[in-house]
Amino acid sequence: MTKNIAAEVIHETPIEKQHIEIVERKGIGHPDSLADGIAEEVSRNLCRMYIKEFGRILHHNTDEVQIVGGQSEPEFGGGIVLEPIYILLVGRAVTRVGDKRLPYRTTALRTADDYLKEFCPHLDPDNNVSLDCRIGQGSIDLREVYDTRKRLANDTSFGVSFAPLSETERAALEVEKYINGELKNILPEVGQDVKVMATRVGNEIDLTIAAAMVDSLIPDADHYKSVVEDLKGHVSDYVLSHTDRDVKVMVNTADDYDRGVYYLTVTGLSMENGDDGSVGRGNRANGLITPFRPMSMEAAAGKNPVTHVGKIYNIAANRIANKIYDELQDDIHDVFVRLVSQIGMPISEPQAASVQLVVPKESKNYSSCLSTAEAITEDALDNLERITELILKDEITVF
CA distances from 193 to 122, 126, 149 (A): 11, 20, 40
397 lies in a domain?
A: no
Contact 113, 128 (CB under 8 A): no
Q: Is residue 125 helix, strand or coil?
A: helix
What pLDDT, on a 0 to 100 scale, did the predictor assign at position 142? 52
The answer to whether residues 78 and 110 belong to one domain is yes
- SS3 of residue 232 by DSSP: helix
Tell me which residue of 290, 335, 345 sits closest to 9, measured CA to CA.
335
- Sorted by sequence, the CB contacts under 8 Å of residue 201 that are 6+ apart come out as 19, 20
Structural domain ending residue among the three candidates 278, 300, 328: 278
Would residue 24 count as lying in a domain?
no
pLDDT for the residue 148: 43
Cα–Cα distance measured from residue 128 to residue 363, given in angstroms and rounded to the nearest whole number: 60
Q: Are residues 268 and 291 in the same domain?
A: no
Clarify whether residues 196 and 251 are in a common domain: yes
In this prediction, residues 47-54 reach a mean pLDDT of: 92
Sorting pLDDT into bands at 50, 70 and 90, what band is 125? very high
DSSP 74: -
CATH of the domain at 98: 3.30.300.10
Asked if the model's pLDDT at residue 139 lies above 70, the reply is no
Q: Given 260, 278, 296, which residue is the final one in a domain?
A: 278
Q: Is position 125 within any domain?
A: yes
Q: What is the pLDDT of residue 360?
A: 86
Q: Tell me, yes or no, whether 269 lies in a domain.
A: yes
Looking at the fold, whether 285 and 266 belong to one and the same domain comes out as no
> Binning pLDDT at 50, 70 and 90, where does residue 141 land?
low
Task: Determine, yes or no, domain membership for 67.
Answer: yes
Crossing angle (nearest 10°) for helices 385-392 and 309-328: 100
Q: How distant, in Å, are the alpha carbons of 86, 218, 237, 320 from that of 257?
A: 31, 15, 25, 48
Same-domain pairing of 270 and 285? no
Residues 41 and 177 in one domain: no
- Residue 190: the pLDDT is 98
CATH of the domain at 369: 3.30.300.280
Quote the pLDDT of residue 73. Answer: 97
The pLDDT score that the predictor gives to residue 276 is: 97
What is the pLDDT confidence band of residue 53, given thresholds at 50, 70 and 90?
confident
Answer whether residue 355 is part of any domain.
yes
Note the pLDDT tens digit of each residue in 287-326.
999 999 999 999 999 999 999 999 999 999 999 999 999 9
Give the distance, in angstroms, between the CA of residue 197 and the centroid of all CA atoms in the same chain. Answer: 15
Q: What is the DSSP letter of 152?
A: B
Answer for the pair 356, 330: CB distance below 8 angstroms, yes or no: no
Q: Reply yes or no: is the peptide bond before residue 164 cis, omega within 30 of 0.
A: yes
- For residues 175 and 269, membership in a common domain is answered with yes
pLDDT, tens digit, for every residue of 194-250? 999 999 999 999 999 999 999 999 999 999 999 999 999 999 999 999 999 999 999
Across 41-65, average pLDDT: 93
In this prediction, residues 321-344 reach a mean pLDDT of 96
Q: Does residue 21 sit within a domain?
A: no
Query: Per-residue pLDDT tens for 159-204?
Result: 999 999 999 999 999 999 999 999 999 999 999 999 999 999 999 9
The predicted pLDDT at position 135 comes to: 95
Shared-domain flag, residues 301 and 371: yes
Q: 161 with 287, same domain?
A: yes
Q: Residue 243 is part of a domain; what is its CATH number? A: 3.30.300.340
- Give the residues across from 206 on adjacent strands: 199, 248
**Same domain membership, residue 114 and residue 69:** yes
Q: What is the DSSP letter of 339?
A: E
Q: DSSP letter at 122?
A: T
Tell me which of 235, 251, 278 is where a domain ends: 278
Residue 212: domain span: 167-278
Number of domains in the chain: 3
Report the run of H or E that residue 320 belongs to, with start and end. Answer: helix 309-328
The neighbour count for residue 222, using CB atoms within 10 Å, is 10
CB environment 141-153: b (16+ within 10 A), e (fewer): ebbebbeeeebbb
Same domain, 245 and 273: yes
Q: For the chain, what is the mean pLDDT?
A: 94
Position 26 in a domain: no
Confirm if 146 and 59 have CB atoms less than 8 A apart: yes
Per-residue pLDDT, 362 = 74
Instruction: Let me know whether 141 and 83 are in one domain.
Output: yes
* Average pLDDT of span 66-79: 98
Mean pLDDT throughout 268-278?
96
